[in-house]
């Protein structure tokens, strides 16, 4: 510890006394140096307050989940979602509403079932992982070997694994920030190929989810190049408990897996874009993103109907202001987040010449839980703007290393500044990627709070005299 010299100590004490006695003056002095001008802050605060009183966001997500419902990449329902997006943005007064080409995988689930055959016969609830190959029609019947983690599988003798179904029994932890997901999900992406290398014939995983409902969680897997592809499915948590208990009995366990999953040819479809044009610098863009596709099991209310509704409604409310902000607010409803973000990649390719004029990107893809933190990746000199926004929203300020989200992650090489609003994800992973992702899981007031926050942030960045600079290199951090 270094002791402060007397003069410094005196100065520190004076400052503390000044802040204690004249807090407003002290804050104003700080803010005046670098943060939002008063008129910008006032309008942003007013957008925020008015949205908290009630918005159309719930109506928007209700319309999408009811009239379109499940809309996986490549499906005809996804095309209906594109029509819905174009129609909705036009009806809500957006300008320059259009579709932007995206080529997406087309994977279909087909019929699927699973059964523990021995020692105690029990049918189970499972869902093929997205992108999994199917089994032969008669299914795969094989002994089961349990491993407690992805790394443990590598330690096994191939002779132990050969011809077996590998069951990864990794439990996801419930956390407000959803960080349990990051720790549990690698097994879903990589588990199949890691087991296939050792001769496994199929993979089962415990659902990456925090609930105890008999609703399995799907999600994408990635087959490793050059490794034999084997079928993979997630058991619901109660079914994973059952399989683990059968294994714990010490008797040999046999399982029959039938997956009708298969990949069809790629499909050319589209992301949907609409704008609130800026009044002075329309060529400078504040991008608000969410993804229009969903998994096939639920109606995609929290993933990502909520984000679609939040971003549309936040932008719409900015468009209703008597004086629109200087810069353009662009809402991008991305095609295909779930199967490799090809919509986001297509956007980057199509807009590469204007990415330098994207002054901010934000993404809403974490359900409808309330915003509790603002994180960023902006020029560090501009962090006082983020601090000012945190104060305005009444939330914590997070780190400056945010990726922002899966879709806007593609903008990182162009150093597009990121604002990320962290949502309360305590219950998000109870429903995420399951049939249970339905409208009833959304509280309209929570949606309103998200709309309020994004409207204030997007307006402030679109209106402020300066900008957020350019984002530093991604350090691998997460918001």
Residues that bind a second copy (CB under 8 A): 62, 66-70, 120-123, 125, 212-215, 237-238, 241-242, 245-246, 249, 298-299, 434-436, 438-441
Token reading at 347: 């956007």
CA angle (368, 370, 374) in 5-degree steps? 115
CB 171 within 8 A of CB 179: no
Q: How far is the CB of 204 from a second copy (least distance, A)?
A: 17
User: Which secondary structure element, helix H or strand E, spans residue 273, and what is its range?
Assistant: strand 262-276
Judged by DSSP in three states, 418 sits in: strand
Q: How far is the CB of 259 from a second copy (least distance, A)?
A: 17
Pick the catalytic residue: 246, 275, 337, 463? 337
Residue 337 annotated in active site: yes
Q: Which of 144, 273 has the CB closer to a second copy?
A: 144
Residue 126: HSE in the Cβ half-sphere, 13 Å Cα cutoff: 35
Spatial distance between the Cα atoms of 231 and 295, rounded to a whole number of angstroms: 18
Q: How far is the CB of 97 from a second copy (least distance, A)?
A: 22
Token reading at 244: 């683990």
Q: Which of 81, 286 has the CB closer to a second copy?
A: 81
Cα 348 from chain centre: 18
CB 226 within 8 A of CB 167: no
CA angle (215, 433, 64) in 5-degree steps? 110
What is the spatial order of strands in the sheet that 95-108 belongs to?
95-108, 262-276, 327-334, 281-291, 358-363, 418-423, 371-377, 396-397
The sign one gets for the Cα dihedral 67, 71, 76, 78 is positive
Q: How far is the CB of 318 from a second copy (least distance, A)?
A: 29
CB 436 within 8 A of CB 236: no
DSSP state of 409: G
Q: Report the relative pairing of strands 327-334 and 126-128 from DSSP bridges.
A: unpaired
Q: Which of 100, 241 has the CB closer to a second copy?
A: 241
Q: How far is the CB of 366 from a second copy (least distance, A)?
A: 20
Spatial distance between the Cα atoms of 449 and 3, rounded to a whole number of angstroms: 45
Q: How far is the CB of 236 from a second copy (least distance, A)?
A: 9
Residues designated as active site: 337
């Amino acid at each position: 510890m270094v002791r402060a010299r007397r003069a410094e100590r005196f100065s520190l004490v004076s400052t503390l006394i000044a802040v204690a006695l004249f807090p407003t003056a002290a804050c104003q002095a700080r803010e005046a140096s670098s943060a939002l001008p008063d008129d910008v802050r006032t309008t942003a605060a007013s957008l925020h307050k008015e949205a908290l009183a009630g918005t159309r966001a719930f109506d928007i997500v209700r319309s999408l989940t009811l009239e379109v419902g499940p809309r996986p990449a490549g499906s005809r329902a996804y095309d209906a979602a594109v029509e819905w997006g174009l129609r909705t943005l036009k009806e809500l007064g957006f300008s320059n509403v259009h579709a932007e080409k995206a080529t997406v995988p087309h994977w279909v689930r087909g019929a699927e079932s699973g059964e523990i055959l021995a020692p105690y016969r029990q049918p189970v609830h499972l869902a093929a992982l997205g992108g999994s190959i199917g089994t032969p029609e008669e299914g795969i019947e094989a002994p089961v070997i349990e491993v407690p983690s992805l790394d443990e599988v590598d330690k096994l003798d191939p002779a132990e694994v050969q011809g077996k179904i590998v069951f990864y029994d990794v439990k996801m932890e419930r956390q407000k920030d959803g960080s349990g997901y990051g720790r549990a999900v690698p097994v879903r992406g990589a588990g199949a190929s890691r087991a296939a290398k050792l001769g496994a014939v199929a993979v089962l995983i415990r659902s990456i989810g925090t609930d105890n409902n008999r609703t399995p969680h799907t999600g994408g897997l990635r087959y490793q190049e050059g490794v034999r592809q084997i079928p993979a499915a997630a058991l619901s948590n109660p079914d994973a408990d059952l399989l683990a208990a059968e294994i714990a009995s010490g008797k040999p366990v046999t399982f029959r897996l039938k997956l009708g999953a298969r990949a069809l040819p790629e499909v050319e479809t589209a992301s949907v874009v609409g704008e609130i044009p800026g009044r002075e610098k329309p060529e400078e863009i504040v991008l608000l993103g969410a993804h229009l596709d969903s998994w096939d099991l639920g109606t995609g209310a929290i993933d990502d109907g909520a984000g679609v509704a939040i971003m549309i409604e936040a932008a719409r409310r900015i468009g209703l202001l008597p004086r629109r902000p200087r810069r353009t607010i662009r809402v991008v409803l991305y095609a295909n987040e779930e199967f490799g973000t090809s919509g986001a990649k297509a956007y980057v390719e199509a807009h590469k010449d204007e990415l330098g004029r994207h002054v901010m990107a934000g993404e809403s893809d974490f359900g409808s839980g309330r915003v509790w933190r603002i994180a960023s990746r902006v020029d560090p000199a501009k962090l006082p703007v983020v601090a000012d926004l945190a104060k305005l929203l009444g939330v914590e300020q997070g780190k400056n290393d945010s990726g922002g989200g899966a879709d806007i992650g593609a903008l990182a090489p162009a150093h597009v500044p990121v604002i990320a609003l962290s949502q309360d994800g305590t219950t998000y992973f109870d429903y995420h990627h399951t049939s249970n992702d339905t409208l009833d899981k959304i509280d309209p007031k929570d949606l309103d709070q998200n709309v309020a926050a994004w409207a204030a942030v997007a307006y402030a960045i679109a209106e402020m005299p300066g900008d957020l600079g350019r984002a530093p290199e991604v350090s691998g951090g997460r918001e």
